[in-house]
Amino acid sequence: MATILRVSNKDGSVSFQAQVRIQRAGKILLNESRNFKVSGAGTRAEAVAKRLAEDWAARLTEQMQDATAINQHKLKSVTLQSLIGQYIEFIEKDKPIGDTKRSVLNILARSTLLGDLPLSRLTTDIIVEYARERGSGGTLPQTINQDIIYLGGVLKTANKYFGMNIDISIFELASEYLHANGMIGKSAERDRRLGESELSRLMAVARPTNHQRVIPITDVMRFAVETAMRLGEIVALRWSDLDEKNRTIMIRDRKDPKKKIGNNQMVPLLGFAMDIIQSQPRAHECIFPYKAECASAAFTRLCSRAGIIDLHFHDLRHEGISRLFEQGYAIQEVALVSGHRSWKNLARYTQLRAVDLHRDKPRVITELSDRVDRR
């Protein structure tokens, strides 16, 4: 169905807007409009603009006689950049998009290879070339893998909710090829822990530089080990969420694969965690009122001064969780501290060594020697 409307523009000019809407079985398959501005004055000029609008609407209506034609037209008129914008708007009606995901989507949208590409021209080869281009710039396979995963999510959402019919096999074949050739892949799980002397070395080289006066990085570092919190969680802690009597604190919007917003968790402050908190000045609503990236940079500088290689701030969380297991806490107790919903995900933190089992040897031998065969 085509509709022609006479529209008065803000600048005083007049346009004729042609609207074409095709609806079948109660579902809108196509809804497009185009404006045709009147050039000149008088009824003759308006008649010309109106006729142009009518001709455009008639041609489009005639071309869109079947679902295939409608779909091809939609794919030609939508770029990946505009689709990503539509996707973000759609998703954020229900929940905010995380910073990492938003950053990846922006990279895809701004890509010279993909951003301005009409969806009708998206091919397996182009997706592979995008990954190849990213890799040649030094981007790691696990990072490119994230790009590809989010691209697939956008395309599948467009098919399911935006009434499009994108050939998903294009994406699937590209993903399969990239995996097979090692161009994308999951990142290896880090199991880096603090060495026997590394913590003391870090404490020893800490000195009151300008950065140290602004960010008490040794306090933040020790707190991370004591609580097994992520850096982003530490710098978001509030004095108002601290329960000094029960030695607990609320972590707001804690990271969760399904629902981060509103995932508030009360966690215990074990070891010296409460002492570290109480040593902080109460001049801000946050206990550690620093930017995560600044604290991370300060930690990197500290590692450099101490001559410690390949230690990330997030490794301190791994260290903290592993220490809880070593102290004898049960897996459900450790999960309460770490925030893991799946106990299975905590298995890699136990980091048991063969030598650790020898502490049970005397007891086991004694029990065996005391056994009597009563048959």
Q: Between these two residues, 67 and 334, which has the higher pLDDT value? A: 334
pLDDT at 11: 86
Long-range residue pairs from 203-207, CB within 8 A, at least 24 positions apart, any chain: 204/306, 205/302, 205/305, 205/306, 206/302
User: Which tens digits make up the pLDDT trace of 103-142?
Assistant: 999 999 999 999 999 998 999 999 999 999 999 988 999 9
Q: What pLDDT does 298 receive?
A: 92
Question: 344 or 82, which is more confident?
Answer: 82
Q: Comparing 94-98, 220-224, 363-367, which segment has the lowest mean pLDDT? A: 363-367
Q: Tokens 């710098």 label which residue?
A: 235
For residues 259 and 48, the model is more confident at: 48
Residue with more model confidence, 278 or 162: 278
Q: Does position 375 have pLDDT exceeding 50, yes or no?
A: no
366 pLDDT band (50/70/90 cuts)? very low
- Spatial separation of the C-alpha atoms in residues 263 and 340, rounded to whole Å: 12
- Look at residue 2 in the predicted model and tell me its pLDDT: 80
Q: Is the pLDDT of residue 363 over 50?
A: no
Q: pTM of the predicted model, to two decimals?
A: 0.58
Determine the pLDDT at residue 26: 64
Indicate the CATH number for domain 198-357. Answer: 1.10.443.10
Helix (H, G, I), strand (E, B) or coil at 306: helix
Tokens in use for 159? 């098919």
Mean pLDDT of 319-325: 91
Q: Is 249 left (phi over 0), alpha (psi -120 to 50) or beta?
A: beta
Q: What is the mean pLDDT of residues 307-316?
A: 91
Residues in the chain: 375
Task: Decide if pLDDT at 369 tops 60.
Answer: no
- What's the mean pLDDT in 334-351? 77
Is the pLDDT at 70 greater than 50, yes or no?
Answer: yes
Q: Contact, 124 vs 170, CB < 8 A?
A: yes
Given a cut of 70, is residue 68 above it in pLDDT?
Answer: no
Closest residue by Cα to residue 34 from 48, 54, 14 = 54
Q: Contact, 79 vs 118, CB < 8 A?
A: yes
Per the DSSP assignment, residues forming a β-bridge with 31 are 21
The whole-number pLDDT of residue 284 equals: 93
* Mean confidence (pLDDT) of the chain: 84
More confident residue, 160 or 68: 160
Amino acid 364: pLDDT:
38
pLDDT tens across 189-246, in order? 777 888 878 988 998 888 654 444 578 999 999 999 999 999 999 999 999 999 999 9
pLDDT over threshold 50, residue 295 = yes
Which SS3 state, helix, strand or coil, does residue 326 take?
A: helix
Residue 354 has pLDDT above 60, yes or no: no
Write the pLDDT tens digit of every residue in 237-275. Answer: 999 999 999 999 999 988 776 666 668 899 999 999 999
pLDDT for the residue numbered 226: 95
| Residue in 218, 195, 205, 337 with CA at minimum distance from that of residue 266 | 337
Residue 80 has pLDDT above 50, yes or no: yes
pLDDT for res 210: 45
DSSP 238: B
| Residues 144, 149, 152: CA angle, nearest 5 degrees | 125
List the domain boundaries for the chain: 2-65, 80-180, 198-357
In this model, does residue 370 exceed pLDDT 60? no
Give the pLDDT score at 188: 67
